[in-house]
Structure formats: structure tokens, C-alpha cells
């Protein structure tokens, strides 16, 4: 159970599987607080944040639910590397050395739980913590 060999992941097969990338619009929506709707300045800020979020979340694979369908985190989410249930603290996810990063403890597939979405100048626009996502296979490289 403690094997973490990269050999357990068939990265080429995963990359050829056409697994969908995560859409920012499936993760979050941003609304202005007042009933009148966002003013022009708020609309620009929302658009800027969503643009950065769309670029950011494309790095990740859409989560795969137990029934094999893609979808969000409700219910058991399966590791796209090995198919084991990937459930944060009590499941197969384990944190690594880098803050907010970890792997599936069964197959070593890389995951991230802490997300800091920044604009092109590095200003943080949005952060999400404790939100377990796996990198899209196309973002990974074989390690020797
Ligand atoms: Zn796994």
C-alpha cells in the first residue's frame, strides 16, 4: 500500500485518454454582493479574476467520480492514475514537501490542495485551500 512507484501510472495511456481538463466555470462563480449587480469596476475585476482562474484550472484534470463519470467533488472521487478513492485526509491523498502539494499514496499521481490564482503581474486574486485536484496528464512528464 505504500508503494509510490511512477511505474504504476501509465502516463502515455492517460495522456491519450482525452481526459477533460477542469473548467474554472465548473469550480467557481463570482457575484457582486449588492442586488443591483456589479458596477463597471467590479465587472472588470470579476472578468480579470475569471480569466486568471480559467488559465489556472486548465492545469488540472476534471475529477472522476466513482461511477466513472467526470464531475465535481460530491461523493467519492477516484484517482485518475490508479482508480483508488481519493478522499483527502482519510483516503489515499498524502501531503508532500511542497506546501499544498501532495500525491496519491497508492500510485504517486501528483495533486494540489492549495490554490493561489494570480494575475500576470503576480497579484493574488483568489485563493482556495483544501480543494483536492489532480494535475491533467498533459501537464506531467515521465520522471527517469
Ligand atoms: Zn492513484
Give me the pLDDT at residue 124, please: 94
* pLDDT tens for each residue of 26-82: 888 776 666 677 888 888 988 999 999 999 999 999 988 776 666 555 446 788 998
3-state secondary structure 5-32: CHHHCCHHHHHHCCCCECCHHHHCCCCC
pLDDT band at 97 (very low <50, low <70, confident <90, very high): confident
Report if residue 74 sits inside a domain: yes
Report if residue 116 sits inside a domain: yes
Give me the pLDDT at residue 51, please: 92
CA of 97 to the centre of ligand 1 (A): 18
Report if residue 1 sits inside a domain: no
Tell me the C-alpha distance between 132 and 113, whole Å. Answer: 4
Report if residue 144 sits inside a domain: no
CA of 31 to the centre of ligand 1 (A): 35
Report if residue 64 sits inside a domain: yes
Cβ atoms 112, 36 nearer than 8 A: no
Give me the pLDDT at residue 132, please: 84
Report if residue 12 sits inside a domain: yes
CA of 69 to the centre of ligand 1 (A): 17
Report if residue 57 sits inside a domain: yes
Bridge-based pairing of strands 110-112 and 133-134 is antiparallel
The pTM of this model reads 0.79
Report if residue 122 sits inside a domain: yes
CA of 80 to the centre of ligand 1 (A): 6
CA of 30 to the centre of ligand 1 (A): 32
Cα torsion for 123, 129, 131, 136, to the nearest 10°? Answer: 40
CA of 76 to the centre of ligand 1 (A): 13
Q: Structural domain of residue 111, as residue ranges? A: 6-139
Cβ atoms 129, 100 nearer than 8 A: yes
Kindly state the cell numbers that stand for 70.
467526470
The SS3 of residue 135 is strand
Which of the given ranges, 8-17, 51-60, 95-104, 126-135, has the highest pLDDT on average? 51-60
Give me the pLDDT at residue 143, please: 67
Tell me the C-alpha distance between 1 and 83, whole Å. Answer: 14
Q: How many domains does the chain have?
A: 1
Q: Please, which residues have CB within 8 angstroms of residue 93's CB and are 6 or more apart in sequence?
A: 86, 87, 102, 103, 104, 105, 111, 113, 132
Amino acid at each position: 500500500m505504500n508503494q509510490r512507484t511512477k511505474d504504476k501510472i501509465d502516463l502515455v495511456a492517460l495522456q491519450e485518454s482525452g481526459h477533460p481538463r477542469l473548467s474554472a466555470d465548473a469550480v467557481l462563480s463570482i457575484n457582486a454582493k449588492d442586488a443591483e449587480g456589479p458596477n463597471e469596476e467590479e465587472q472588470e475585476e470579476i472578468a480579470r479574476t475569471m480569466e486568471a482562474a480559467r488559465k489556472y484550472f486548465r492545469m488540472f484534470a476534471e475529477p472522476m467520480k466513482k461511477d466513472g463519470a467526470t464531475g465535481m467533488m460530491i461523493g467519492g472521487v477516484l484517482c485518475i492514475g490508479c482508480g483508488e478513492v481519493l478522499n483527502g485526509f482519510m483516503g489515499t491523498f498524502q501531503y508532500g514537501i511542497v506546501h499544498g502539494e501532495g500525491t496519491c499514496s497508492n500510485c504517486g499521481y501528483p495533486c494540489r490542495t492549495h490554490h493561489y490564482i494570480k494575475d500576470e503581474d503576480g497579484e493574488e486574486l483568489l485563493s482556495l485551500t483544501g480543494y483536492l485536484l489532480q494535475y491533467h496528464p498533459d501537464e506531467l512528464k515521465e520522471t527517469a
